[in-house]
Structure 1
């Protein structure tokens, strides 16, 4: 929501019904405030025509628009007062209207009500734009889906899909659920969700999520969760909850408004009675000025300045896959001076990739086919990487007899009557000679921080394979972006220094390796003691103590439920550069808040002076308050456009 009620000010459009789902989904022209504005405008125009034709009726013809538009304002003022908010804008408007009528300013009273309704309608439209940024996410999901039932495909409502259902996704269709590919290969356009311009190639076993577009071939997808609990739905719920959580700045503005509004009422009362009593000035003139001051002093624009910007900032982040749990997180992110990264799965892709291969007899493809064959039944990341490397080279895995996994060691089987083993060097050395070219290569690659596996056939090492968890594609650019923002970046990892330095070297970042969880925690605490504001980026599970101790915990690739639930913020698309993007967005949001507060207070100060000087009256005062409120809301909505 963009506006929030406070004990000090009941803002335009901030009533109990103004943000309900049913109202939010109505077209703008069917909103109650817009309809009332239209009726009031027609009646006011008619009243001015009649007053021009028959001047003696000028005051009486204003009764109709005043009654139609003024009674709802009086009613809401009474409800707010009974509810413990006596200094609401409706109450100040009511006092000004009654006072204007009392001094015979009927036409100005009518104009005050009309301008108030204009501001209320415009603010409501601006608020709808911020909420639309979140609702647009849910519009990415299709309403219908094809589900397999009793061997047939049946078209059903997507909302009825449940975990375990298999759905058919045709080329051009959007995926209705989070799931995994069962049948089919092809490209998925994830740009509507992730902003990634290049399609992602998927095959059986790959995880996919709702809202992406199938580009090429028919896919069968098994749902891994209900539609109501897919990634998109969780994002929407988290952002809605975050928008309800007040930031420290918002709480400060609310506390300010608690004494600000009574102070304005007191000043207005002094203006009304002070000059006439002390200097014999005209009562009517100063009573009129005091009414104008009441309207100028309403803190609605001031109170809405912070939640409007925070709501827009959170919505803009969610549309880019940057989730932040509330305004307090935004504020702390804007102040971050140091970011501590985990290594595996954060700076790296989290999946080992084959980097080097050495065949004993030079026949790399033959032995790679054996290695891929013996690893077929294993889901170990190393085995998966070896099969992927073989597939990329068009090498077909050979059939291996009696293939089996050896926990903690590798895989084994028989090929052509000979025993086959694929696994760790330490396990292989128990059964084969240590000397040889393979041993030197293994030691050299291990010294470079790589994982080394060997293929042993008939007690002879025939193939040595080196693997490394490679950097994410944007890791270098992401760390450089942080440096340009003046933010330090360091790596905290439990891996050995050789492996950590192999990743940290290309990134030119300081590496802290071989750390226990308590040591990571101590480093974070030490930086904070030095005055740093620390963000910790990791998976949200393994680094729990450091994530909890940091000023901000950020889950990388946070599409999983556990990451979304535990971190202060989450980067859904696994891009390192999104850490810097999140901080930039937070800084822009805080700058927007400062601009809004300056706008709200500046306009009030200007019209305060002109009213005391007699240059402006009641309707310009309402225009000042309405204009300030609309300006700060529209300024906040600029965050949605970038």
Structure 2
């Protein structure tokens, strides 16, 4: 019988590099009841899959012994098993760490204070050594111990837990060896430089981590809710689904919702990158954190604070950062052999020349200790996850959600993209494209049609009313208005009986001339739906509507084809309408397809050797999304876009598919640069150390410098292109 596992997520404080994550992973994975563990340096989180026998308090105590603190996320609390003595540890669940440290300036953090103390002790030791040369060696040892004792403690705890080859262990051995061979001054300097490097890594990692967490600061802390005819200010995270909130001009919207009254321009720039505010009115969706520009809005809340768009984006990105790309998994496997291998090389360099060739022990032990420090794999291991995390965060800020490093890496290999039509390449709602006058002028035709459609929520009626408003056409009141099932609507305007409906239904009432019929058929021929307006016994005119392509569809598809990527439209719509849109966009069309047909076509393309992405709305395209190498959800339904497929385009831009692929290519280029820097610097310093040009402190600078350079290079991906 399979044990039931539970998922618990933690915030991990003090974790700044990939070596930290490896230590935590190794320790926690060996704890009873743990089925799986995933640690993300860049997100600062750990996800634990465990059964009922797992003691979370004991796990937290083990992790705190390594120098980190665990804080349960989303209200989760430690739940020790029944036999655990939780009263001894409950007060120490955080390992004695300050949970607010992430928001503190570096000089107030524990690492910052330790680094400052070590630096001050080093300066004092130099002064004392100059003043009293006979005690120089001992004062440098004392200065070294200020920083080395915490490092050594973490090294011993990690070794006991099964991770002997840590940077802390290498540092402890190197510093201890320096004292033995009389290089206390260098030992103290190396410890200080190591602490500086750790501090810089922490600052860089914190900046990368804050880039996505910064989204949560867009949501205001308070909201004005309507209750019993009065407004009341409450905490934004306490607003319930269904509540009505009042948002004044210039204020941020406190929750996801639907406008119930008012019309205003909504500034969504911080979420979508759009420079111009979007005008929205009744029944339009609005998102937490966007800015209401110029009018009072009443909004019905549709999602709780923990489940609004921004919160879900942050959660999905953090979870994605815990998912490793193939390149990252390869580097992880390599590092497991790399560090022990370098340790063996350092040992051989230290003993073979003195034993075999009679060389001086002090000089070669010194070189061996320097090689130990060069051997730290931090820069190599962080080279891939740092770049991937920065890209995931950057993409999320642009409305591009990528669910993990594997997806990000795969996107750069895409050679074919299959698009759905409705709601993907098109807006997903009909628009009036033509107003044709037969017996009346165009303004009269549109005015009378809008009068009949007033109050209707049918998509075709909404499009007519929207066009009338845009053209500033007067809409007179209609009397005796009613719908005729399957045929159209009737009513009276200004004493004239009106009918608006299909050409076939209009033909049953009034004979259409050959010219009128030809014009209607021509509009039908390009995929447009035509409604004919009758005024009494006269054919007054016609209104043509079609679900039009998105504004950026043509440019977005061209960007893909210019990059040599094959693009195809897969749609269940009728062939005539699909081919009309396909001709307009210059894309190959496969129409009148069932969901299984779309899946079959995706499989066929894969068998041709193409790497296929499928872009759709995430519901009727589900089989094809699953079959593709990368499934990308796009459309008006935010929930679907967030929770289906491998990736999601939140803002409905066709060009964003090309942007995702470009982001992948930039990321992989950045990763290759990082790996080259990490290995190149180590190779240079390895050679210079063996031939005697560099020593201990340049070795630690090589390790720390490479790690910081790699992290800073990865952070370039956070900048908009």
| TM-score bin, normalised by smaller chain | over 0.9
Corresponding residue of 1:370: 448
Residue in structure 1 matching 2:475, options 370, 392, 397: 397
* Counterpart Cα distance in 2 of 1:411 and 1:72: 81
Instruction: Kindly report which structure 2 residues correspond to 1:301-450, keeping only aligned pairs within 5 A, or say none.
Output: 301-406=379-484, 408-413=486-491, 420-433=498-511, 435-450=513-528
Corresponding residue of 1:270: 348
**Pair 1:148-2:217 in alignment:** no
TM-fit CA distance, 1:24: 2.0
CA 1:215/1:408 → structure 2, altered by over 3 Å: closer, same or farther? same
* Counterpart Cα distance in 2 of 1:16 and 1:313: 29
Corresponding residue of 1:158: 236
Corresponding residue of 2:159: 81
Corresponding residue of 2:128: 50
TM superposition score normalised by structure 2: 0.85
Corresponding residue of 1:477: 555
Deviations 1:90-119 (A, max 9, x none): 111111111112222111111111011010
Corresponding residue of 1:135: 213
Q: Secondary structure, in 3 states, of the residue corresponding to 1:351?
A: coil
TM-fit CA distance, 1:558: 6.3
**Pair 1:196-2:274 in alignment:** yes
TM-fit CA distance, 1:25: 2.4
Does the Cα contact within 8 Å between 1:12 and 1:120 map onto a contact in 2?
Answer: no
Does the Cα contact within 8 Å between 2:617 and 2:640 map onto a contact in 1?
Answer: no
Does the Cα contact within 8 Å between 2:147 and 2:192 map onto a contact in 1?
Answer: yes
Does the Cα contact within 8 Å between 1:9 and 1:299 map onto a contact in 2?
Answer: no
* Counterpart Cα distance in 2 of 1:441 and 1:55: 104
* Counterpart Cα distance in 2 of 1:3 and 1:495: 51
Does the Cα contact within 8 Å between 1:248 and 1:328 map onto a contact in 2?
Answer: yes
**Pair 1:17-2:34 in alignment:** no
Corresponding residue of 1:592: 670
Residue in structure 1 matching 2:565, options 483, 487, 490: 487
| Worse overlay, 325-334 or 73-82 | 73-82
| Worse overlay, 553-562 or 582-591 | 553-562
Deviations 1:397-449 (A, max 9, x none): 33334544455544445557876543333444455435554322221110111
CA 1:277/1:427 → structure 2, altered by over 3 Å: closer, same or farther? farther
Deviations 1:476-511 (A, max 9, x none): 221122223222222111222322222222322222
* Counterpart Cα distance in 1 of 2:276 and 2:415: 33
* Counterpart Cα distance in 2 of 1:640 and 1:187: 28
Corresponding residue of 1:509: 587
Does the Cα contact within 8 Å between 2:23 and 2:158 map onto a contact in 1?
Answer: no
Does the Cα contact within 8 Å between 1:322 and 1:582 map onto a contact in 2?
Answer: yes
Q: Secondary structure, in 3 states, of the residue corresponding to 2:386?
A: helix
Residue in structure 2 matching 1:453, options 512, 516, 531: 531
TM-fit CA distance, 1:308: 0.6
CA 1:594/1:584 → structure 2, altered by over 3 Å: closer, same or farther? same
TM-fit CA distance, 1:456: 4.0
Deviations 1:155-175 (A, max 9, x none): 221111121111121111111
Residue in structure 2 matching 1:636, options 692, 696, 714: 714
| Worse overlay, 263-272 or 428-437 | 428-437
Does the Cα contact within 8 Å between 1:100 and 1:106 map onto a contact in 2?
Answer: yes
Deviations 1:47-75 (A, max 9, x none): 11110111101111123322211111011
Residue in structure 1 matching 2:619, options 533, 541, 552: 541
* Counterpart Cα distance in 2 of 1:301 and 1:409: 70
Residue in structure 1 matching 2:600, options 504, 522, 540: 522
Q: Secondary structure, in 3 states, of the residue corresponding to 1:198?
A: coil
Does the Cα contact within 8 Å between 1:9 and 1:85 map onto a contact in 2?
Answer: no
Corresponding residue of 2:89: none
Residue in structure 2 matching 1:605, options 643, 663, 683: 683
* Counterpart Cα distance in 2 of 1:300 and 1:18: 21
CA 1:183/1:428 → structure 2, altered by over 3 Å: closer, same or farther? same
Does the Cα contact within 8 Å between 2:448 and 2:475 map onto a contact in 1?
Answer: yes
**Pair 1:213-2:229 in alignment:** no
* Counterpart Cα distance in 1 of 2:715 and 2:116: 25
Corresponding residue of 2:90: none
**Pair 1:124-2:202 in alignment:** yes
Does the Cα contact within 8 Å between 1:346 and 1:537 map onto a contact in 2?
Answer: yes
* Counterpart Cα distance in 1 of 2:564 and 2:100: 46
CA 1:442/1:521 → structure 2, altered by over 3 Å: closer, same or farther? same
TM-fit CA distance, 1:228: 1.9
* Counterpart Cα distance in 1 of 2:67 and 2:433: 61
Corresponding residue of 2:576: 498
Corresponding residue of 2:328: 250
Structure 1 unaligned segments of length 5 or more: list them. none
| Worse overlay, 405-414 or 623-632 | 405-414
Corresponding residue of 1:573: 651
Corresponding residue of 2:55: none
Q: Secondary structure, in 3 states, of the residue corresponding to 2:592?
A: coil
| Worse overlay, 201-210 or 231-240 | 201-210
TM-fit CA distance, 1:612: 0.8
Q: Secondary structure, in 3 states, of the residue corresponding to 2:693?
A: coil
Corresponding residue of 1:531: 609
Does the Cα contact within 8 Å between 1:337 and 1:534 map onto a contact in 2?
Answer: yes
* Counterpart Cα distance in 1 of 2:166 and 2:479: 81
* Counterpart Cα distance in 2 of 1:483 and 1:209: 33
* Counterpart Cα distance in 1 of 2:636 and 2:532: 34
Does the Cα contact within 8 Å between 1:489 and 1:509 map onto a contact in 2?
Answer: yes
Does the Cα contact within 8 Å between 1:28 and 1:125 map onto a contact in 2?
Answer: yes
TM superposition score normalised by structure 1: 0.95
| Worse overlay, 427-436 or 304-313 | 427-436
Does the Cα contact within 8 Å between 1:186 and 1:202 map onto a contact in 2?
Answer: yes
Q: Secondary structure, in 3 states, of the residue corresponding to 1:139?
A: helix
Q: Secondary structure, in 3 states, of the residue corresponding to 1:453?
A: strand
Deviations 1:355-411 (A, max 9, x none): 112233124433433322322232221111011112222233333345444555444
* Counterpart Cα distance in 2 of 1:304 and 1:637: 12
Does the Cα contact within 8 Å between 1:9 and 1:89 map onto a contact in 2?
Answer: no
CA 1:244/1:624 → structure 2, altered by over 3 Å: closer, same or farther? same
TM-fit CA distance, 1:28: 2.3
CA 1:306/1:18 → structure 2, altered by over 3 Å: closer, same or farther? farther
TM-fit CA distance, 1:309: 0.5
* Counterpart Cα distance in 1 of 2:601 and 2:116: 62
**Pair 1:279-2:295 in alignment:** no
